[in-house]
Structure 1
Amino acid sequence: MKKVLITGANKSIGLETARQLLQKGYYIYLGSRNLKNGLEAVEKLKAEGLTDVEAIQIDVSDDESVKAARAELGKKTESLDVLINNAGISGGFPQTATGASIDAFKKVFDTNVFGVVRVTQAFMDLLQKSPEPRIVNVSSSQGSLTLGDDPTDLYYNHKAAVYQSSKSALNMYTINLAYELRNSPFKVNAVDPGFVATDFNNHRGTGTVEEAGARIAKYAIIDSDGPTGKFFSEEYNPETGEIPW
């Protein structure tokens, strides 16, 4: 049974991704910053008959928490097949390039960028022991420089200097990570779940968590012929999914 770690998985898109992968026969380590919330999410899934799941306490913005999570997971398994870096924050709105504070940038980057680096590096040794390791970095079309500079884009006038910058940085990390692992069995991609109605955006989104979970799960289970080093948003491109960086 293949094993998956999902950060920020106690609710919304992360929880739904866990649910869909459980339904496909994967074993899920459900990462949650607050262990109580994680345990409650696990019980919810088990009540649905999805039992191959357990909670792991992990705060991606805290070095010691990530190290402790790695040590805990190492007691449970010798390898990890999939890492889904889902945990992220918006930083609140509005966010202007001329007014957003340095502290706001630091807080968002600590989760959305540095958190992904912390977790990826901490669990790399377990991933390398998998015959078909997969890494999915949950990004956003808002991190696309090409789309962000396109006046015809649907969200052109919806700027968020802090959040968008963090996702652009995450995208470049994804490119570098995929490049370094290009001659290995790894598949590394950035996936935009879409503009989904969740707590993240005060439920203003137009998509569903089911759609979002399916989009992420799709790239967590790709086979050896699947893509790597790509940026996908099926909301933008329903045909191939790929969008420009």
Structure 2
Amino acid sequence: MESLQTGVFSHLLELRSRLIKAAATVLLLLVALLPVANRLYSLLAAPLVARLPHGAHLIATEVTSPFLTPLKLAFYVALFAGMPVILYQLWAFISPGLYKSEKRLARPLLVATLLLFYLGCAFAYFLVLPAAFRFFAAVTPGGVEMMTDINHYLDFVMLVFFAFGLCFEVPVVVVILAAAGIVDLARLRGVRRYVVVGAFTISSFITPPDITSMIMLAVPMYLLYELGLLAVRWLIAPRIATVET
């Protein structure tokens, strides 16, 4: 009993150490980004500003928004940039309890999770947001000035980034389902038509209300599903065949 308590206590101490290191990384990045917080916001606002009507601009409807909104963005960027360190600390904590086969599968999944999330955010910034703002500018009623609050804009963009980042995790989800034995490769291939319907349904809920944005998410989601099938074929199917023999 005493040894069990000692083991639990040591694990808690290690977890605290890992959390402190992850938090310290984000804090250091935040401090480094504070001097360029306004510049970061200008870059974030570029897809909207470029499509505002002549004379229109972003506005701040709250007294503290000009200060707090760039600060909040700097925190998001620090968290975003520090994610590799955060995932490494998570991996260092849980990896000792994994089998070698689980480690071989978990490593590429963690890397793929991070890269796909970054890819989804970049896809949203460079392709989806410009198309969405072009649509919003085109449908603005006459006599209405399109001037968005800076804090509301930040919240909207962060929500879009998060949604696209999660949707780009489709290959990781497919591989995890196959590795857990919930579905096999044949079953995954057999539900392609439902995946297409699901991709368009999901994109209709989380994208801005224009057909271009919906298609720009649904099509990559399906292509990423096919990428997941290839990953299952390369990573999971050979391992299952080895176990069965």
**Shared fold by TM > 0.5?**
no
Structure having the higher Rg = 2
**TM-score normalised by structure 1 residue count:** 0.26
Structure with more of its chain in helix, by fraction: 2
Structure with more of its chain in strand, by fraction: 1
